[in-house]
Amino acid sequence: MMWIVIIGIVIIVLVFATKGKKEECPECEVPEEEPCAELKKLAVYYNGKALNQSEVVKVPYNTKVEFKAVGLDITGTKDACINGSDIVWDKSCSCTYWETPTGVVNKVRVNNKTLNTKREVWIKHKNGVTFAWKVEVV
pLDDT higher at 115 or 91? 91
Band of pLDDT at residue 18, cut at 50, 70 and 90:
low
Of the pLDDT bands very low, low, confident and very high (cuts 50, 70, 90), residue 29 is low
Q: What pLDDT sits at residue 110?
A: 94
Look at residue 103 and tell me whether its pLDDT is greater than 90. Answer: yes
Tell me the backbone φ, ψ of residue 124, rounded to 5 degrees: -140, 130
Model confidence at 23: pLDDT above 80: no
Q: Does domain 41-137 have CATH number 2.60.40.3450?
A: yes
Sorted by sequence, the CB contacts under 8 Å of residue 114 that are 6+ apart come out as 137
Of the candidates 137, 136, 138, the residue with the CA atom closest to the CA atom of residue 56: 136
Q: What is the dihedral of CA 9, 12, 14, 19, to 10 degrees?
A: -160
Query: For the purposes of burial, counting CB atoms within 10 Å of the CB of 106, is it exposed (0-12), middle (13-18) or buried (19 or more)?
Result: buried
**Contact, 48 vs 57, CB < 8 A?**
no
pLDDT tens figures, 37-93: 899 999 999 999 999 999 999 999 999 999 999 999 999 888 999 999 999 999 999
